[in-house]
Structure 1
């Protein structure tokens, strides 16, 4: 009798464990999220600060009398400084750890916003953004952190979650800007709010983030430029450069495009940035994983390039404010899937002890595009017309899509 009762209890216990245990995929997703949640939290707060300041930057520069061809260069200033320092930050994070680089970079970013808020001249505005770019190594360290705590199979999902923080930041940040500028608020006030957000992000990073246990430092912490002769990596860097060149041409001129076509001011532009954030968060927070699982990273990159180019080509046809949302949705979808998929391929191809360095060089290519993109787009915007940066960007992406097709045949892609 007792034996029968014991068997019954064991049977019921097995049924209970089976009933309450979540599916394997859910447990894997929970483990991944638990490993990167502290980083995502701190990074999101820092990116909210960027989301606050980005919509008003062109208007902030024109306040000092600059024309559109000069105003867009505020984006190039940030990226120029980032270009010079990103590989160094990547190597440093390989050597001393991800968390110290995160803390140093976020501190510098906080200082830059305070400097921007107190700028009394055009050169100070540009200098403050240059300083922000020079201390932007926290983004490179964040990407390397994700690569450290993920595997090849879930790296795109992890990077997608990191990318989703951009989307959340561009929902919350511009929303804060919209409220801060209500009733004719001063353009300086958002810079102070951004500094406060970054200070909170610094505290969160200090308390929550732990150094990855699986970080591989190896003996070779110097990044060799010979890695650029690796055909797959070089092709990935070239694709990364091209998509940022096209996208940053839009990013730098969009507020001025809205001003010229619809007579919008900074407060009227911010809802578009909120929409951009919503789409980016949906794509990178939920859609990127299933897309990559079905198509693989390489095909996802090609899909993103085609969608981005289509959106850029359709944007000039939007003759009313509401019609802007359709091509903008295509643009953001395309750009949002390209980033995580490309970064995942890079981290798979790169040697284990050089992941930080490779991602740092990728950031340098992106920064180079962020220098050239606003510069050429601003010149075309002022010299030919406001629609032409988008037409040219769409045409540029057609050969880029063709150039990305061989990535599908790479070993990293074929493992998917």
Structure 2
């Protein structure tokens, strides 16, 4: 008995710490959210407009479509730790390239005057900024590979608790990032200080990973690795960087034949499209239409993220047992649409009230939708459904970010009602959702 207890103690002692993984997850979301408040300001200063900003916002996701699958397969073959180090090193390098842009002269490389694209110039710092986001996208599998690493080292009884900690670390990044950007961006150094802070935090995470992580034996992933959070629509990670069982074994047409699947994939695409319109339009509108500064934009996004967390936590847990999934998705979609439409107002009070509606709508609709999507695939097709949904979301995000920039040149703040109509279409589809017979509760 004593020998068995000693072996169990040794096993517990040798279990890798999840602290480095929490740091990676936190840094991934922090790095993304710390850029949001002032990125549009830099794009404008370096010659760009809404179209350029939309393309820049889509650059990370576009390059991640190529880099994430390669990193995922590499992590299955060579181990998670090596890929995590490589991915984090790429993130660190991207912040270094970002900092380099501040030191370069504003040399004009291209001058564009277009009816549809507007007037803008491509300068040397702007080009380097694109290179930084592309480099981060190519190596941007650190969050999802860290989830796979956690699945490798976590026992069944600790899985929910540890992935809950991962969700908390992501949420902290989304709240602290914009707030930190607002505080640091208000100094005489301007945006240089927030980027320097992101570089330093990434370097610290790399050191922590180098000396705090041990290698694991990869195992097949057959289920979603963590519950969706209300801030997922802000996230960069659109595709998983690890292999999911059954993903390649089942074709697209097989998935479409599942009950409700056509409508669910359409809802996924429309929500990501509408939210991408908002993501592109609001920072540009805040600077050009409302005259907001970086601290004001940072405060707004911090409040929005915090409100999303509150809705997705205590509020959703209370209403999820009292209302049907289609009711939560429909009401959430309508609240989100009204919140987007109210952004036309020039009143700060109304705009902050719209943030509450956006948080309420997204917090009710998105986690509920992800739960419904997960149930629709069942145990056998779970991975395939998640894979196709993530790919559709990535395409919608890229299309929405680029198209949103183009549309903003022509329609300005009226892009917000357009986004609202897209969300209303998704809410209408959600209202038609019917629980499949096999998922009905027993009576």
Q: Name the TM-score, length of structure 1 as normaliser.
A: 0.76
Q: Retained in 2: the 8 A contact 1:81–1:130?
A: yes
Distance 2:419 2:244 in 1: 42
Q: 1:221 to 1:209 in 2, by over 3 A?
A: farther
Distance 1:209 1:328 in 2: 42
Q: Retained in 1: the 8 A contact 2:24–2:142?
A: no
2:403 to 354, 362, 376: 376
2:270 to 221, 242, 249: 242
Q: 1:383 to 1:329 in 2, by over 3 A?
A: same
Q: Retained in 1: the 8 A contact 2:269–2:396?
A: yes
Does residue 395 (structure 1) correspond to residue 421 (structure 2)? The answer is yes
Q: Retained in 1: the 8 A contact 2:255–2:385?
A: no
Distance 1:333 1:71 in 2: 27
Does residue 362 (structure 1) correspond to residue 366 (structure 2)? The answer is no
Q: CA deviation at 1:242?
A: 1.2
Q: Retained in 2: the 8 A contact 1:253–1:377?
A: yes
Other structure's SS at 2:251 match: helix
Match of 1:67 in 2: 49
Other structure's SS at 1:230 match: helix
Match of 1:170 in 2: 174
1:273 to 298, 301, 309: 301
Structure 1 moving runs of 4+ over 6 Å:
35-38, 94-97, 145-151, 157-161
Aligned-residue RMSD, C-alpha: 3.8
Does residue 189 (structure 1) correspond to residue 198 (structure 2)? The answer is no
Distance 1:150 1:400 in 2: 38
Query: 5+ unaligned residues in a row in structure 1: which ranges?
Result: 1-34
More displaced 10-residue stretch of structure 1: 199-208 or 140-149: 140-149
Q: CA deviation at 1:61?
A: 1.5
Other structure's SS at 1:183 match: coil
1:229 to 235, 250, 254: 254
Does residue 260 (structure 1) correspond to residue 288 (structure 2)? The answer is yes
Match of 2:232 in 1: none
Does residue 116 (structure 1) correspond to residue 98 (structure 2)? The answer is yes
Distance 1:234 1:198 in 2: 40
Does residue 129 (structure 1) correspond to residue 130 (structure 2)? The answer is no
Higher helix share: 1
Other structure's SS at 1:123 match: helix
Question: What are the Cα deviations for residues 319-355 of structure 1, in whole angstroms up to 9, with x where unaligned?
Answer: 2223211111211232234443344444444476876
Number of aligned residues: 378
Q: Retained in 2: the 8 A contact 1:305–1:397?
A: yes
Q: Retained in 2: the 8 A contact 1:305–1:401?
A: yes
Distance 1:94 1:212 in 2: 9
Q: Retained in 2: the 8 A contact 1:95–1:221?
A: no
Q: 1:85 to 1:404 in 2, by over 3 A?
A: farther
Q: What are the within-5 Å matches in structure 2 for residues 46-85 of structure 1?
A: 46-85=28-67
Distance 2:270 2:64 in 1: 17
Query: 5+ unaligned residues in a row in structure 2: which ranges?
Result: 1-16, 105-123, 223-242
Q: Name the TM-score, length of structure 2 as normaliser.
A: 0.72
